[in-house]
Chain A
Amino acid sequence: DAGVTQSPTHLIKTRGQHVTLRCSPISGHKSVSWYQQVLGQGPQFIFQYYEKEERGRGNFPDRFSARQFPNYSSELNVNALLLGDSALYLCASSLERHQPQHFGDGTRLSIL
């Protein structure tokens, strides 16, 4: 079975641009979460979606937004990119919210 897939795998943007990252969960998984991992640190929670509704949000500015579609796939959008947004963005899915989360290999975003 396919795991969590994320696209693109790498992306280079410049300051002020916006970006959309995509995630396809494991088949049958209803919950999707997004995490940001900067170099040398553990992943930090951004959003959790369940049944197409936002269920939780971490300490990130309003420039970050996300949504979940009827097929449970998800997008993460970041506007007005800053140099500090350079990071590995990870998507994780789980069957239900309380069950183990399974991660994709992430999108590495570099801001010039």
Chain B
Amino acid sequence: DAKTTQPPSMDCAEGRAANLPCNHSTISGNEYVYWYRQIHSQGPQYIIHGLKNNETNEMASLIITEDRKSSTLILPHATLRDTAVYYCIVRVAMNSGNTPLVFGKGTRLSVIA
């Protein structure tokens, strides 16, 4: 079962920041927070991941609370092409053993013109 809780859907106006929340209250110290998105009829696309520090790349920013029990993915200037299902996943990151991604139902983000 997924260890994260996300709202099922959100709307965002085009050009505004999209802030997608995720709760992961049972996260362990060696688990990372990963974000993926899936645009209709495509495979999931990796966005960003982090352990405890905030992270930023060309796609998004990831803000993780100090207690690591929740996080927020920020798309700074949402466009229509950002309409997708966004998945927040916690994952043990170690180069031994099985390290699959466990997907929940995600948040369906609709960017509105």
Binding site for B on A (CB under 8 A): 4, 33, 35, 41-45, 48, 55-58, 90, 92, 96-106
Contact = CB atoms under 8 A, between A and B. Distances in A.
Give the size category of B's interface with A.
20 to 34
B21 interface: no
Interface of B: 2, 34, 36, 41-46, 49, 87, 93-106
Given A102-B46, A103-B43, A106-B43, A97 B105 contact: no
B105 A45 contact: no
Q: Enumerate the 5 nearest inter-chain pairs by beta-carbon distance, A residue then B residue, closest first.
A: A56-B98, A42-B103, A103-B43, A45-B100, A98-B93
A101 B87 CA distance: 14
Contacts of B95: 96-98
Nearest to A94: B99
A53 B103 CA distance: 24
Contact of B87 (A4, A42, A98, A106): A42
Contact of B99 (A44, A48, A106): A48
A67 to B, nearest CB: 17
B96 A97 contact: yes
B44 A98 contact: no
B105 A48 contact: no
Given A43-B101, A96-B95, A97-B94, 17 more contacts: A33-B101, A35-B101, A35-B103, A42-B104, A42-B106, A43-B103, A44-B103, A45-B100, A55-B97, A56-B100, A57-B98, A92-B44, A97-B95, A97-B96, A100-B49, A101-B101, A103-B36
